[in-house]
Amino acid sequence: MWILAAAALLIVLCYSVVPSFALRYLQTAKRKKAGREKVLYLTFDDGPGGKDTEDLLDLLKEYGIKASFFTVAAFAKQYPELIVRMKEEGHLIGIHSVHHNNALFRGNKFTYSDMAESMFTLKKLGCDVAYYRPPWGHLNLFTIGWIKRLNLHLLFWDVMARDWSDKETPDTICSKLMHRVFPGAVICLHDGRGAAGAPARTVEALKMTIPMLMEKGYRFKRVDEDE
C-alpha cells in the first residue's frame, strides 16, 4: 500500500507541485539577479470584486499608478463595467481562470477549456489578454503546453502578504510588504474573494504602503512594461 501511496505522491509532485514552485523560483531569481532600479509591479488577483475594486482603482488613479489585474472570468462577467474602467485607465488585464479552480488534479481538457474560456470572456469585454497567472499558484504540465500554444506569458509573483486572510490587518499587510519588497519585485495582492472584508483591508493597507514606498524612491509599472 505504501508503494502505491509513494507512487501517487511522486506523480502529483512531478505533474504540478515541482513545476509550479520551480518556475516561480526561477522567475523570482531572474528578477533579483537583474538588479533593476527601484521599480515595483503591483498585481491583483481574484477580482473584480465590486466596490473593493472600485476603491482600489480610485486609489491607483490618485497616485497615477498603472497596475496589472489577473481577473477571474466569472467575476469579469459579473462586473463588466470594472473591466472597462481598468482598460480605460491604462491597467493591464490578464486571466486567472474561470472560477478560480486549482489545477493540481486537473487534466488536459479542463486546463485548455479553462484558459480558452477565460480568454474568450475577456475578449468579449474588449481585452486581448496576453498574461496568465494560475489560481493558487498551481499549474500542471498541460498548463505549460497551453500557455505556449495560446501565446500567453506566465507570471507568478515575488512578494505576498497573505492579504486574503482574516488574521491580517491593514497594518500587518503594510508591514509585510515594506519588509519583503526589493527592486523589480512583482507584488501579489487581491481585490476579490478572500476572508470577509479582505479586499477592503488590502485597499486600506495600500493607502499606507504606497506613499511609504514612494518616499523610499520606488516607482510602479505594469508587468508588461519591462517583462
CA 102 – CA 133 distance, rounded (Å): 12
Please report where in the chains the cell 519588497 appears, as a residue.
181
Q: Is the separation of the CB atoms in 115 and 132 below 8 Å?
A: yes
Query: Going along 46-89, which residue ranges are E strands?
Result: 68-71
Q: Report how many helices (DSSP H) and strands (DSSP E) the chain contains, helices first.
A: 9, 7
Q: Is the separation of the CB atoms in 153 and 131 below 8 Å?
A: yes
Which residues are the active-site residues? 45, 190
Query: Going along the chain, which residue ranges are E strands?
Result: 39-45, 68-71, 92-95, 131-132, 153-154, 186-190, 219-220
CA 142 – CA 107 distance, rounded (Å): 7
CA 119 – CA 138 distance, rounded (Å): 19
CA 81 – CA 78 distance, rounded (Å): 9
